[in-house]
Structure formats: C-alpha cells, structure tokens
Chain A
C-alpha cells in the first residue's frame, strides 16, 4: 500500500495555493509533477557534473557521460529491453514517433501501403503518419472503437486483412484510460507481417511495461508524464530494425567519420539517432524518476490511481446528466466525462478558482471526440501523489459548477 502523505511530502509544488485554495492537481496525464529526487538530480548535475558527453578526454566529461549512459541503462532495465543500445534518447514521445516515421517510414513505406492506426490515438500518433502517407502516397486506415471506448476486435482483424505495413496504437488512451491488449494486438499485427509501434505515454507512468514480452518493434514514451523532466523522451526499437534504419537528423555525435571528399559514415546505435548535444540533465533525471517509481512500486502506484479513479466515478455519477466517456473493462484511473447541456470549458473554468486543475477539451484526440459527437470532455487524471480528499474536492467542485451553470 502506498502512503499518500509520505509521497506528497516529496512534491514541493503540491504545497502551493492556487487562487487562495490548496492546489488540487488532477492533470497528471498532461504532465506529472516532479518529486524532490528528480528536481535534485537535475540540480546536482548542473551544480557538479555538467560537461558535454562522449567528447572530452577530461574527467568531468567522462563523469557526465557515465551518468548519462547509466540513465540509458536504467531505462533499458525499466522496459526490460534486451540491449542498452535499443534505447534512443529523444526530445519526447512526439519526437520519437517522428523519428520512426521519418527514418523507418520513408525507407519502408511505399505508394499504396497501408498504415493502420486507431480511433483513440493522440494527434502525435496520427499526424506524423499522415505526413508520411501524403509524402509516400500511402493510405491510413483506422481501427474503430465501441461505445465503451474499446477497440473493436473484429474491426481490427478486418483491417489486418489489408496487410498494413505498420500498426501504430496507444497502449493506454490519454483521453479515456482504456488499456489496450498490446501483447495480443502486436502478435496479431506481426502475423500479417506488420511492424508495430506502441505509444506508451500513458502506460509507463502507471504500470509495468515489458517490451520483450510485448514483442513490439517500437515503443515510445515521454519523460515529463512519468515524473521526469520535459524535453526528454525515449524511443525503444528492436536492435536489428534500428540498425537497418538510416539516421534522421544529421550533426555531431551521430557520425563515425566526416569527410567533405569521401562523404560521411555514421556512428552505431544508439548514437546514430542522437545528433547534437542531448538533453543530458533531462536524461539523467528521467533515470532517477523511473528509479523513484520503482522505489514506490509500480503496482502500488497503479492500484492507488485505480482506487482514486473508482471513487471519482462513484461520486461523480451522482451529478445529474453526467456521462463518462471511456468505460472500458480494462482501464487506468483516468476519469473523463461530459455533462448534458454544459460545456466542458465552463466546468474547467469554474474549477480553476477552486484550485482544482483538470484538463478540458479534446485532449489532442479530435477523431475520438468526433466519434462521441462532443467538443471535448473534462478529464481528471491521477498520479501517485493524489488523495481521496482531492477526489472529494473534485466531486464537490463539479457539483457546484454544474449547479451554477444550469
């Protein structure tokens, strides 16, 4: 069992007041807050360890490089990847997906090929593929969802008959919390010869992820949604696949030999995909964030969030005309809802002066909102540091807001 008071004491920002009220931060899915361990890791790096990595013979550069590469190993262990060079640092999950679409995609996707996505994808797992499809004259197909916000299995099987070259889907829906059966979908996609990319932005912060068991080809996640800093993310890719892919961005760090006469040869993995000076402090702090999560216990975090989500749904169900968006059998603690006759934006606006931070809008999943025929939802999302008292505050706040708005 997780001790919320102990956890909260490690998050300085939660002591803030917002508009005269204690801050109730329920926007974890947009970005998580940071524990002292992560804040201190970045500070410590800048105070005592900073030098450019992989360059200097001097000791400071070597120490910085060691810390940076140790963080890569932490990520490998966290995801249970087979090889450390399968972990590529990126600027975030969006950047990681763009890397795959620009490097793997531009060499593998041909005119007429099918790229299979799902209705519940974040725009970051749609737009890069649309750009690629347009360039390569490929075609995007979409697996539809049911009313509960679950992928429709028969539709998935049907779309696989189109022999997609790539199947890209989210492990957990950011708008609804639906957990997709990533292992089974991956196996089904592989059975028709498709490459599989999984968006792990909303899974890594909440559960154990094992890329070896999933057997996916690519897995991406962002640091800032998983208690780490902004500007850092991870692309996991199977070694053979990454080795076969051309570099995407050119520059320093990613080269073997540069010659103006004979051309340039590239570095091996993982540096081939890491042109330029990386976000060193971000990578180190992300490693610390993942260790921090392990310290608390991934299972405990997930269980705690599920408890909060269940209580929130229980309390919010009393609000007249409130309808949950996303009621999948398998889901995380995320609670997304709409209220008849009330715009989500108005609810969010009224919760703000009460100190309650929720996300309103389409959550970068417009195709999903189109399916439900709504402009957006109010979404409360939880992290290890949230409490049942905060869930009470949310429910009371929503009831009050709806009373005012009706």
Chain B
C-alpha cells in the first residue's frame, strides 16, 4: 500500500517535471495533443453507453477491471483530442494501482502543471466526472 502510494507520488512528480520544460500554453497543448494521439484507442466494444461519462461538449468513455495481481486497470477514450491527452495523463497516474490507493488519490499534479481549469465543473469536458468515476471504481473494487 505505501509502496503504491509512493508510486502514485512518483508518477505525478514525473509529469510535473515533463511539463516544467514548456514555456507557454501552446507548448503544453501541443504536448497534450501528442499524448492524446498516442493513447491507444479503446476497443469499439468498450465504447458503450454504459461506459460513457457525459461531459457537456466532449465525451469520455471509461472502463475498469481488476488484474490478477489485484490492481485496477483503466482504459479510457474521448472524442476530443485534448481531452484524450488529459485522460492519458490521469490514467498514467492511476493505472495499475490498488483500489484503495485509487479511491483516495490526490491528483495534485493537475494543478501543478496549470491544467486545473480543465478539471473544473465549468469546463464541461467530462474529465472531472471521469476522475470521480475512477475513484468510485476504487471504492467498488475494495468492497468486493
């Protein structure tokens, strides 16, 4: 558990370091677009209405399962590429961690890299709801 927590912190520090190189907003967005393009697309079979998280403008799909080692594995996708980039970052931070670490995760990296406005309810991009849903999965898998 504490190892997993350390891992979560370490992943976030790495992301913050990567973003420290960028001088302005456009560079950050270019990187997010790159991440968005690299994120392997979800199988069509997983892009179901059950897995959809409705944002007002961009749609986000999220699926979760528990690996044999008991870790939570996430796959996600969005129809907007910048949202996909953000989705990729969140998955990078939370993927393959124990359910209890996911449910209690503090994603401080988002604010540190200046993208917290994208996690605000007014953004309506579905991202905030996705993070909440990931934590709900964390709680649900713990209960099993």
CB pair A346 B25 closer than 8 Å: no
For residue A206, give the distance in angstroms from its CB to the closest CB of chain B. 26
- Quick check: is B48 within 8 A (CB to CB) of the other chain? no
CB pair A345 B57 closer than 8 Å: yes
For residue B128, give the distance in angstroms from its CB to the closest CB of chain A. 15
CB pair B29 A375 closer than 8 Å: no
* Contact-residue bracket for chain B: 10 to 19
Beta-carbon contacts of B24-35 to A below 8 Å, as 1s and 0s? 111001100100
CA distance A349 to B86 in the complex (A): 13
For residue B25, give the distance in angstroms from its CB to the closest CB of chain A. 4
User: Which residue from chain A places its CB closest to the CB of B125 in the assembled complex?
Assistant: A345
CB pair B79 A343 closer than 8 Å: yes
Q: Which of A353, A362, A376 contacts B29 (CB 8 A)?
A: A353
CA distance A350 to B81 in the complex (A): 11
CB pair A404 B25 closer than 8 Å: no
- Quick check: is A344 within 8 A (CB to CB) of the other chain? yes
CA distance A342 to B59 in the complex (A): 14
Q: Which of B25, B57, B83 contacts A376 (CB 8 A)?
A: B57
Q: Which of A342, A362, A376, A404 contacts B30 (CB 8 A)?
A: A404
CA distance A379 to B58 in the complex (A): 16
Name A residues whose Cβ lies closer than 8 Å to a Cβ of B.
Answer: 19, 342-346, 349-350, 353, 360-362, 375-376, 404-405
- Quick check: is B7 within 8 A (CB to CB) of the other chain? no
CB pair A349 B56 closer than 8 Å: no
Q: Which of B24, B29, B57, B125 contacts A404 (CB 8 A)?
A: B29
- Quick check: is B80 within 8 A (CB to CB) of the other chain? yes
Name B residues whose Cβ lies closer than 8 Å to a Cβ of A.
Answer: 24-26, 29-30, 33, 56-59, 79-83, 124-125
For residue B29, give the distance in angstroms from its CB to the closest CB of chain A. 6
CB pair A345 B83 closer than 8 Å: yes
CB pair B56 A343 closer than 8 Å: no
Q: Which of A344, A350, A353, A405 contacts B57 (CB 8 A)?
A: A344
Q: Which of B24, B25, B26, B59 contacts A375 (CB 8 A)?
A: B59
User: Which residue from chain B places its CB closest to the CB of A401 in the assembled complex?
Assistant: B29
Q: 6 new A-B pairs (CB below 8 Å) besides A345-B57, A350-B82, A353-B25?
A: A19-B25, A343-B58, A344-B57, A345-B125, A346-B81, A346-B83
CB pair A345 B82 closer than 8 Å: yes
CB pair A353 B26 closer than 8 Å: yes
User: Which residue from chain A places its CB closest to the CB of B34 in the assembled complex?
Assistant: A404
CB pair B79 A361 closer than 8 Å: no
CB pair B80 A343 closer than 8 Å: yes
With contacts A361-B56, A375-B57, A376-B57 taken as known, whether A345 is within 8 angstroms of B80 at the C-beta atoms is yes
12 sampled A-B residue pairs with Cβ under 8 A:
A343-B79, A344-B57, A345-B57, A345-B80, A345-B83, A345-B125, A349-B29, A350-B82, A360-B57, A375-B58, A375-B79, A404-B33
